[in-house]
């Protein structure tokens, strides 16, 4: 403190909370995140200052009957975890509609849908939760009417404020945040705000026949059950990949078969690092494997870079300057990925730009099912989650998944107690092409109906 002329102590000004718009990156360089305000710092340790999170409640008999089909798939315990989840969904266009519908039918506890924009006539062709009477109304408010009819048991909240006006501590109330249709810098800023409060994060977007899903679950444990008969018993303390560790194994007898429950732990990186990370080594090991990588990855990175340099704007195909800049940055990203130049053709550029910022219901349905199913698995702590980037090419109907991780020295990895780094195998579990399949077969047709959750309302 400083003294005034009368000798009285002069209070120092308190730091003001910074909205997300003030923490975004400029010209591709990440701006320094503001010092967490005292209110947010206190919230980390004082439960009374945290936004309200629904208390854990046991599932009722009526709910067991209602969700009987899905309980048979993942069990009552997983359904209870889903029942008590609090999720934020940002963006209520076509993709947001699909995600919200699937989560509501699955019986999550609380869903907040956030969108500050109003319904326009163009929305009617791709968004099934609205009608002509909703034109001019807020998107989230209009969609909430039909969502509440789908499952009145879900606590559905509407937030009409712009995401850019939110403080970082706003996200502390949620278990999972899903950001759809956000420019790269905004999605990355939301991601880093979620990490402040250990909140899991998804980013997803649709561009016509193309789309992507990214996940940052920070550190996530999940359970996988399998028959041990005919398989080698799993040993705990083994690193299956550079990001996945086996934490524990339990065995049990069931119907004269020995089954094991394997607890695994996945480590994730934020969107900002994943976007600058190389492809997994197996994906660039040979020319043949490089040719399998869809050029959509280079186009998306080119789009993100274009948005960085133009304050979040997407390229306009009618502007010569936009075409030149997008082509330049996309080619640069393609070279960074060490991919063959011949797969990034003029046809690829033309198709991507023609699809940019458009919504096609089948693409939204597929990606919405993927996001919702992964969220359900994460909440129930069962099955392998997405790690960490899914690309969808609707023209080829391929959906490869790549684990985009920053390069690091494996000798510096921290081993488990009683282990040395020599005990940790370095090979990554993949399909041989550097692609983490995670239930989706890359470079082959994928049945959309199998990818979406099948809840019973």
Complete DSSP assignment for 384-448 = PPP-SEEEEETTTTB--EE-------GGGSPPPTT--GGGS-----SSSSS---TT--TTS---H
Residue 91 sits in the same domain as residue 125 = yes
In a domain, 56, yes or no: yes
Residue 95 sits in the same domain as residue 120 = yes
Residue 113 sits in the same domain as residue 213 = yes
In b/e form, how buried is each residue of 346-375, taking b as 16+ CB within 10 angstroms? eebbebbbebbebbbbebbbbbbbbbbbbb
Lowest mean pLDDT among 34-38, 55-59, 264-268, 396-400: 34-38
Residue 350 sits in the same domain as residue 368 = no
Give the other-Cβ count within 10 Å of 44's Cβ.
15
In a domain, 114, yes or no: yes
In a domain, 443, yes or no: no
Residue 203 sits in the same domain as residue 225 = no
Residue 179 sits in the same domain as residue 249 = no
Residue 227 sits in the same domain as residue 254 = yes
Count of structural domains, the chain? 3
In a domain, 9, yes or no: no
pLDDT in tens, 39-51: 444 444 444 334 4
pLDDT in tens, 407-455: 754 444 444 444 443 443 333 333 333 333 333 333 333 333 333 444 4
Lowest mean pLDDT among 10-24, 103-117, 157-171, 247-261: 10-24
Does residue 352 have a pLDDT over 90? Answer: yes
Residue 78 sits in the same domain as residue 145 = yes
Pairing type for strands 257-267 and 2-3 reads: unpaired
Query: Which residue, 446, 432, 340, is CA-closest to 391?
Result: 446
Residue 186 sits in the same domain as residue 296 = no
- What rounded mean pLDDT belongs to the chain? 80
- How far is CA 203 from its chain centroid? 4
Residue 104 sits in the same domain as residue 181 = yes
pLDDT in tens, 176-205: 999 999 999 999 999 999 999 999 999 999
Sorting pLDDT into bands at 50, 70 and 90, what band is 22?
low
| 3-class SS of residue 119 | coil
Q: From CA 176, how far away is CA 89, in angstroms rounded?
A: 9
Please give the DSSP secondary-structure letter assigned to residue 194. Answer: H
In a domain, 123, yes or no: yes
Q: From CA 283, how far away is CA 396, in angstroms rounded?
A: 19
In a domain, 386, yes or no: yes
Q: From CA 186, how far away is CA 181, in angstroms rounded?
A: 10
Q: Which residues form the domain of 351?
A: 271-355
Does residue 76 have a pLDDT over 80? Answer: no
Q: What is the pLDDT of residue 18?
A: 61
**Residue 210 is part of a domain; what is its CATH number?**
3.40.50.720
Average pLDDT, stretch 142-149? 95
In a domain, 13, yes or no: no
Residue 185 sits in the same domain as residue 245 = no
Residue 317 sits in the same domain as residue 264 = no
In a domain, 27, yes or no: no
């Amino acid at each position: 403190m400083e003294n005034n002329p009368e000798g009285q102590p002069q209070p120092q000004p308190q730091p003001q909370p910074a909205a997300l718009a003030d923490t975004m990156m400029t010209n591709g360089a990440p701006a320094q995140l503001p010092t967490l305000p005292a209110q947010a710092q206190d919230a980390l340790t004082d439960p009374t200052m945290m936004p309200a999170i629904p208390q854990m409640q046991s599932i009722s008999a009526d709910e067991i009957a209602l969700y009987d089909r899905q309980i048979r798939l993942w069990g009552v315990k997983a359904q209870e975890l889903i029942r008590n989840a609090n999720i934020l969904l940002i963006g209520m266009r076509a993709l947001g509609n699909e995600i919200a519908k699937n989560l509501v039918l699955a019986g999550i506890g609380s869903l907040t849908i956030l969108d500050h924009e109003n319904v326009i006539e163009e929305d009617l062709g791709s968004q099934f939760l609205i009608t002509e009477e909703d034109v001019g109304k807020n998107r989230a408010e209009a969609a909430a009417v039909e969502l509440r009819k789908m499952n009145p048991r879900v606590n559905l909240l509407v937030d009409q404020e712009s995401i850019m006006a939110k403080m970082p501590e706003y996200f502390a109330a949620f278990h999972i945040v899903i950001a759809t249709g956000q420019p790269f810098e905004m999605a990355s800023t939301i991601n880093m705000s979620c990490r402040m409060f250990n909140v899991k994060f998804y980013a997803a977007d649709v561009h016509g026949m193309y789309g992507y899903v990214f996940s940052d679950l920070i550190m996530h444990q999940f359970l996988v059950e399998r028959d041990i008969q005919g398989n080698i018993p799993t040993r705990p303390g083994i690193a299956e990949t550079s990001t996945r560790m086996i934490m524990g194994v339990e065995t049990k007898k069931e119907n004269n078969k020995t089954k094991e429950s394997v607890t695994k732990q996945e480590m994730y990186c934020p969107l900002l690092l994943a976007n600058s990370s190389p492809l997994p080594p197996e994906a660039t090991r040979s020319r043949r494997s490089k040719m399998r990588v869809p050029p959509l990855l280079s186009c998306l990175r080119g789009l993100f870079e274009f948005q960085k340099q133009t304050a979040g704007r997407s390229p306009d195909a009618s502007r010569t300057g936009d075409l030149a800049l997008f082509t330049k940055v996309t080619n640069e990203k393609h070279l960074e990925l060490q991919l063959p130049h011949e797969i990034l053709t003029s046809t690829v550029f033309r198709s991507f730009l023609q699809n940019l910022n458009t919504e096609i219901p089948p693409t939204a349905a597929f990606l919405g099912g993927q996001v919702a199913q992964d969220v359900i698995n994460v909440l129930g702590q069962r099955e392998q989650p997405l790690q960490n980037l899914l690309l969808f090419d609707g023209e080829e109907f391929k959906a490869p998944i790549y684990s985009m991780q920053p390069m690091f020295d494996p000798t510096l990895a921290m081993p488990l107690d009683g282990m040395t780094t020599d005990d940790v195998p370095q090979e990554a579990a993949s399909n041989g092409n550097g692609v983490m399949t995670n239930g989706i077969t890359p470079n082959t047709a994928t049945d959309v109906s199998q990818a979406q959750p099948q809840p019973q309302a």
